[in-house]
Structure 1
Amino acid sequence: MAVYKADKGWRATYSFKDPSGKYRRKSKQGFRTKKEAETWLAEYSVTNGKPTLNKGTLTLFSDYFDEYQQLRFGAGLKETTRESWHAVRKFVVDAYFNNITLDQITRQKYQAFLNDYSKGMKRKSVLKRHQIVKQVLTQAFHDGLIPADPTYGVIVPGAESKPAEEKFLQVDEFNKLLNYIETNDKLIKWNTSFMIYLIALSGLRAGEALALTRDDVDVNTHTISVTKTKQRSGVSTSPKTKSSIRTIAMPERFFDNYAKFINTKPKWNDGNELFDGRRWATINNNWLERIERELGFENIVSVHGLRHSHVSYLLSKGVDINYASKRLGHSNVTITQEIYAHLLRDKQQSEETKTLSILDEIN
């Protein structure tokens, strides 16, 4: 039993068993409004031995999802959160639950969806999509539209994320990557490789790098101003947190190559964006992985992994974690300590060995 939008007006479909036990279906379309279709379906069900009709059998999951989504958007959500909801609508609702009513989503069917959707994906990514769908179905349960929450007790599958120590380039690999780009006249002038070079030397998030304009780069003070981030929609918004708004000091080597990069560009877009309005870092990730394998790196990291590698390199050279935290744009140093805990443990052990050696030398 379902009500859904047809090419012309609304359509209602009613399924039932005839006296012989065979399933039959009665459909009618051409209703001007959804309410008219629901009224017809309710009346038809009465004449076919269904005196009461659970509203969950009349409501498409996609319709309820859209309604709930609009309520969430009306309450005020960040652009990144909105994009997550749009992605779930496209890659989950449309792909797995098209023309499915709320009552048809059982726990078994939902677990089957998770099992299929998780193929080739990280568990963390699957969990993010699941949490959005769970919000909607849990609300439908509390609204009394379905007798049970089909997401209760399900197992979220997917591959586990890399261990923390595998998300960083080793110091020698980090240097090798920088030198590989710097010594290739073509790469230092190409958007894809120059963005990787910039992130490696700055620790910027990919969205922050994509949003940079020529006005953000000060060649006189040797700094980069981070005041915005690029969303997948192409819109530049305020950064992730207030502390993400920051000014980053950059080394001399960067500005030597920055001059080559900007002087090569034949034209700029209206916003004078360094990377010509590019919205995401997919091409950068693909190129980086190919080069890492070509250079024989032990760890294959993403563009975001370069941000981790940047801080890893600084900490390995004795840079204070409080400064590193501000450079990254973390809201507090505790976040930095949690992310780089294994590096700090290594540093603590090194400092402990050094301390004991000093104390043993006391006469």
Structure 2
Amino acid sequence: MVSYRKRGNAWQYEISYKDRDGKYKKLRKSGFLLKSEAILAASKVQTEHPNLLTVKSGSESLVSYYQRWIKVYKQNAVTPITYNKYENTAKHAIELFGDLKLKDLTKLIYQERLNKFAETHARRTVSCFHKQLRACILEALDEKIITTDPTRKAVITGHERPKIAKTLNYDDWTTLLANLDTSKIGEMIIYLAAVTGMRYGEIVGLTANDIDLDKHIINVNKAWDYKYKTGFMKTKTHSSIREITIDQQTVYRLRNFEKNHSLSPSQPIFMNSHGHILVSAEINKILTDRLSALNIPRITFHGLRHTHASILLYKGVSVLSVSRRLGHSNITTTQSTYLHIIKELESQDQDKIISILENASK
């Protein structure tokens, strides 16, 4: 039911409706110079919000709605790590949007705040932030809390990370290995990555029980959540569970590392005395400093995995063996990742084939 009355020099509309508990509520708005303007505004509200409950919901802040949304829709539906990402988005949203109400969010405001976020973050991070926030806003649109999509056609920008080399060449790889002080936790981690191709989470998830130095084998059966610190977790894929054969030099270094550190059978061997495991930023800094000291081009820690695989392929190890050592789910993954190397080796093979045929016909 709608009624209109004049208050001083302005008109007001009043709409009566029932809330979720069946109690009557009133929605009022004044300040219209003409009665016809009040009638038009009331009609618009009733059209856009048939049950009128969503009008009040529009006064909730974007951040508050997002926090409720992830708790209802995501908390028990995604992994703790993924949920942590949604919570990080909430923290950024608080800084960017503050107490801004859902009903006051416009395309211009959304784009301005997204651009501000992009000033200090990589494009990929901005894209993830936008994707999670937009999913929540579209839910508000479905509920008719808002009537338009302020995220539609949003432009994603961000800092492009400087390009760095993906792998080391053979000489730089051997130089790095020879100059690592593997009595130190960080440099032992780097050494293992370079000679096994293991992922960072797999390495820092190793316990003493996972290493059989007599058989020269490292068992990869779990990983460590170094980013969100939730403890041990499953490997990336089932095929990531594998045995990796190691050489005598690696066995020697691991034995010395064990002598210099008090290791618990069930505790990660690279956890320090304070219960801390290096996060990716810390291990990458150690690697960068070591490479710089040796005058070797900078690569990321993950680049050690690519370096290991590339060197094995160049040295004639089969793609299948490399794939299994890396823990890829199938050989196609390995082939697509190292296609440039495989093509180069194929070209060399063609030369070998011609040489063999020419020698056979003499």
Regarding TM over 0.5, the answer is yes
Unaligned 5+ runs, structure 2: 1-7, 11-19, 33-40, 46-51
Offset, 1:148: 2.4
Q: Which amino acid aligns with 2:194?
A: A
Matches within 5 A, 1:88-103: 88-90=89-91, 92-103=92-103
2:268 aligns with one of 267, 273, 277: 273
Q: 1:253 aligns with which of 249, 273, 277?
A: 249
Q: TM-score, normalised by structure 2?
A: 0.78
Equivalence map 1:283-302=2 (5 Å):
283-298=282-297, 300-302=298-300
Task: Please tell me whether the aligned partners of residues 208 and 265 of structure 2 are also in contact (alpha carbons under 8 angstroms).
Answer: no
The verdict on how the C-alpha distance between 1:72 and 1:55 changes in structure 2, with shifts beyond 3 A counting, is: same
Corresponding residue of 1:65: 66
- Change in Cα spacing, 1:173 to 1:47, as seen in structure 2 (3 Å) is same
- 1:180 maps to which residue? 179
Q: CA 1:357/1:279 → structure 2, altered by over 3 Å: closer, same or farther?
A: same
Compute the TM-score of the two structures, normalised by the length of structure 1: 0.78
Match of 1:214 in 2: 208
What's the Cα RMSD here? Answer: 2.9
Are the structure 2 counterparts of residues 151 and 256 from structure 1 closer, same or farther at C-alpha, using a change threshold of 3 Å? same
Query: What do residues 224-250 of structure 1 show as CA deviations (whole Å, max 9, x unaligned)?
Result: 111211122242111111111222111
Closer, same or farther: CA 357–328 of 1 in aligned 2, 3 Å? same
* CA shift for structure 1 position 47: 5.5
Residue matched to 1:137:
137
CA distance, structure 2, for counterparts of residue 19 and residue 279 of structure 1: 68
Query: What CA distance in whole angstroms lies between the structure 2 residues aligned with 1:278 and 1:322?
Result: 33
* Separation of aligned partners in 2, 1:169 and 1:196: 13
Q: Report the Cα distance in structure 1 between the residues aligned to 2:110 and 2:299, rounded to whole angstroms.
A: 32
Is residue 81 from structure 1 mapped to residue 78 from structure 2 by the alignment? no
Instruction: Out of 218-227 and 111-120, give the one that drifted further.
Output: 111-120
Overall identity of the aligned pairs, in %: 26
8 Å contact from structure 1 (residues 210, 280) kept in 2: no
Tell me which residue corresponds to 2:258.
262
Q: How far apart, CA to CA, are the structure 2 residues paired with 1:223 and 1:318?
A: 22
Higher Cα radius of gyration? 2
Structure 2 residue corresponding to 1:191, chosen from 182, 185, 188 = 185
Tell which deviates more after alignment, 289-298 or 206-215.
289-298
Aligned twin of 1:344: 342
One-letter amino acid of the structure 2 residue matched with residue 73 of structure 1 = K
* Distance (Å, rounded) in 2 between the aligned partners of 1:105 and 1:203: 47
2:221 counterpart of 1:227: yes
Q: Secondary structure at the match of 1:166?
A: coil
Q: Deviations over 1:282-339 (max 9, x none)?
A: 21111111222222223x2111111111111111111111221222222112222222
Structure 1 residue 353, shift from structure 2 partner: 3.0
Unpaired stretches in structure 1, ≥5 consecutive residues: 1-17, 21-34, 182-186
User: What is the aligned length?
Assistant: 320
The answer for the alignment partner of 2:354 in structure 1 is 356
Q: Please say if residues 208 and 263 of structure 2, whose CA atoms lie closer than 8 Å, have aligned partners that are also in contact.
A: no
Residues 113 and 170 of structure 1: is their aligned pair in 2 closer, same or farther, counting only changes over 3 Å? farther
